[in-house]
Amino acid sequence: MPSAPTLGQQTNGHHNHNHQTNGQNSSPNHMMSNDDCGIREVWAHNLLMEFKEIRKIVLKYPFVAMDTEFPGVVARPIGEFRSNSDYQYQLLRCNVDLLKIIQLGLTFLDAKGDTPTGPYSTWQFNFKFNLSEDMFAQDSIDLLTNSGIQFKKHEEEGIDPYDFAELLMSSGIILCDNVRWLSFHSGYDFGYLLKILTDQNLPSQESQFFELLRIYFPVIYDVKYLMKSCKNLKGGLQEVADQLELERKGPQHQAGSDSLLTGVAFFKMREMFFEDNIDDAKYCGHLYGLGTAFVVNGNYDENNSSNAITPTTTTTNTPAPNATPSDYK
């Protein structure tokens, strides 16, 4: 059993995505504002109003693509670990427990992959974050600042996570079997959401984490996990989008744009590689990079069957024990 995760040496971890970081978007629309791209900025002052809109939209657009931005990786767990997968969960747990979410992006799509006909497809929630009080990894903050994150505004106008959790609980987008969550290498993304929703630190055991996940988010498709079955598809979200010939809308390394690209990538992959039909028993509820898996009927796969993720130190996409999320996302 691992000892309790402790604060270790600060690691140079980016935020949760290893999208391409060298260079800007090739698309001219990276110069456009989020609003021009159909991305609604949400701060404390308009939180209530935007949730009213979301409660209506999810009824017709029940596929919810999600992404977060957070301040990197600052700690590593120490002790004995049953497996590399167990290490990865403990690494996630100690960092999510210590750090605060900065942004959450939610994009709504229908069963065909179409976004709402109104002005917005995507809501970008900007949380309270104070660079002089809250922990962070410097390189992650530099990357996010260069990507247009306004930290002064987050400090002054950011959303209180507990206000957000209260509205999310009654939004109709969590705790619902008919809502399908789309994500990309999303252990950390869901870790931050579960921490906010439960107002508690993450469970000490990975199996307990997945039990909570199944309650709040019964149906999840992790695009990075789906890629295991897609010939020649590899890399981070931007690289995958380039291979699928998808155009990004909005600025890279912001949660709204990344969630929109994740949603569009899911539907393009479903069409190209899965004949528009994804086998839930094989793919639903699996998060790339974490070892425990569950299927839609709630039966746990504790024995690491062929459907479960079994990382080893010999495969190219398994990080070394001291790696950070940016090394493999």
Q: Which two three-digit tokens encode residue 116? A: 């709402």
- Could you tell me which residue, 124 or 21, shows the higher pLDDT? 124
Cα–Cα distance measured from residue 226 to residue 224, given in angstroms and rounded to the nearest whole number = 5
What's the distance, Cα to Cα, between the start and end of the chain in Å? 27
Report how far apart, in Å, the C-alpha atoms of 63 and of each of 19, 184, 185, 263, 266 are: 23, 14, 17, 8, 10
Question: How much is the pLDDT for 32?
Answer: 74
Q: In this predicted model, what pLDDT tens digit does every residue of 73-98 receive, in sequence order?
A: 999 999 999 888 889 999 999 999 99
Q: Where is average pLDDT lowest: 14-23, 233-242, 283-292?
A: 14-23
pLDDT at 15 exceeding the cut of 60: no
- What are the pLDDT digits (tens) for 264-309? 999 999 999 999 999 999 999 999 999 754 433 334 343 333 333 3
| Separation of CA 243 from chain center | 21
Q: What HEC string does 206-241 produce? A: HHHHHHHHHHHCCCEEEHHHHHHHCCCCCCCHHHHH
3-state secondary structure of 51: helix
Domains in the chain: boundaries: 34-283
What is the SS3 assignment for 50?
A: helix
For residue 60 the two structure tokens come to: 């017709």
**The two three-digit tokens of residue 78, written as one number:** 């120490």
The architecture (CATH level 2) of 34-283 comes to: 2-Layer Sandwich (3.30)
Residue (of 196, 185, 34) closest to 128 by Cα position: 196
Q: 68 forms bridges with which residues in the sheet? A: 104
Q: In the structure, what pLDDT confidence band is assigned to residue 36 with cuts at 50, 70 and 90?
A: confident
Rounded to the nearest angstrom, the gap between the alpha carbon of residue 200 and the centroid of all alpha carbons in its chain is 19
What is the total residue count of the chain?
A: 329
Q: Please, what is the average pLDDT of the chain?
A: 84
